[in-house]
Amino acid sequence: MGDSRPVYQRIADDLRQQIDEGALAVGSRIPSRSELKRTYAASDQTVDRAVRVLKAAGYAEGQFGRGVFVTDRSPAGSLLRTGEAVDSPFAARLLTGSPAAPALLWEAASAATGAPPRIAERLGIGAGDRVMCTRYEYLADRRPLQLATSWEPLALTEGTEVVFPERGPYARRGVRERFAAIGLPVARATELVGSRSATSAESQALGCSPGQCVTVIERTHHTADGRAVETSDIVVRADRWRLEYRIDFPG
């Protein structure tokens, strides 16, 4: 029986297999459009579609004026999630053979805005209610690590020393320490982990191809009585970072 796959899919699958088996090594050039057309008796559109599939899957990236090259898909490390680290969006461990923590750098910008409906629902407030929105970009050992966007109800923080997460006496102290300082101790955090395609802005910041798969973590911090004090979206490259959860069981 003949191969029933569309030609573009067959080309993409063949190239993926060559990469997985090492016939096309990391950093090597993918065959050119004319070479693929000749090999598979395919049109320009079919070949281009196959290469787009390869890029979206994280197997290859284009370099302007040079061609398309095989990317390094080996995990860069793991993002450690523990009771001590859960409110820190940059707990990371690189796979370098060394237990030392990576050098971490990040930039953050905060602005007051209205809560989008999905964020308002997670915080238990009204859509459009004022929140402090903080956007983060993180690097680990100068490599893109993750993006994060955090929202905190201004009804809780406005007029306090913790209204800006990255400024003031409690800057960069983490959600729990900051909210404890204003009498709202955090008792638990919940996380929902999913995946989707990267947006153009995310792919540029994370160094991947548009449409490539990213892992998205929706994390929300709550007080003991169930009040949500902060919620955030964390975005990481699914092909480079794994989530590592450490769960301690009571004796």
Instruction: Return the pLDDT at 124.
Output: 97
Instruction: Return the pLDDT at 127.
Output: 97
DSSP assignment string, the chain: ----S-HHHHHHHHHHHHHHTTSS-TTPBPPPHHHHHHHHT--HHHHHHHHHHHHHTTSEEEETTTEEEE---S--EEEEE-TTTTT-TT-EEESSS--SPPPEEEEEEEEEEEPPHHHHHHHTS-TT-EEEEEEEEEEETTEEEEEEEEEEEHHHHTTSTTSSTTSSTTTTS-HHHHHHTTT--EEEEEEEEEEEEPPHHHHHHHTS-TT-EEEEEEEEEEETTS-EEEEEEEEEETTTEEEEE--PPP-
> Cβ(235)–Cβ(216) under 8 Å?
yes
Instruction: Return the pLDDT at 102.
Output: 59
Domains and CATH numbers, the chain: 7-70 (1.10.10.10), 77-245 (3.40.1410.10)
Instruction: Return the pLDDT at 84.
Output: 63
Instruction: Return the pLDDT at 229.
Output: 98
Instruction: Return the pLDDT at 86.
Output: 54
Instruction: Return the pLDDT at 144.
Output: 79
Instruction: Return the pLDDT at 98.
Output: 46
Beta bridge partners of 125: none
Instruction: Return the pLDDT at 235.
Output: 93
Q: Return averaged pLDDT per consecutive 10 residues of the chain, 251 residues in all.
A: 79 90 89 92 91 83 84 73 60 51 79 97 97 90 84 97 94 91 95 90 82 89 97 89 81 71
Instruction: Return the pLDDT at 237.
Output: 86
Residue type, 107: E
Instruction: Return the pLDDT at 88.
Output: 54
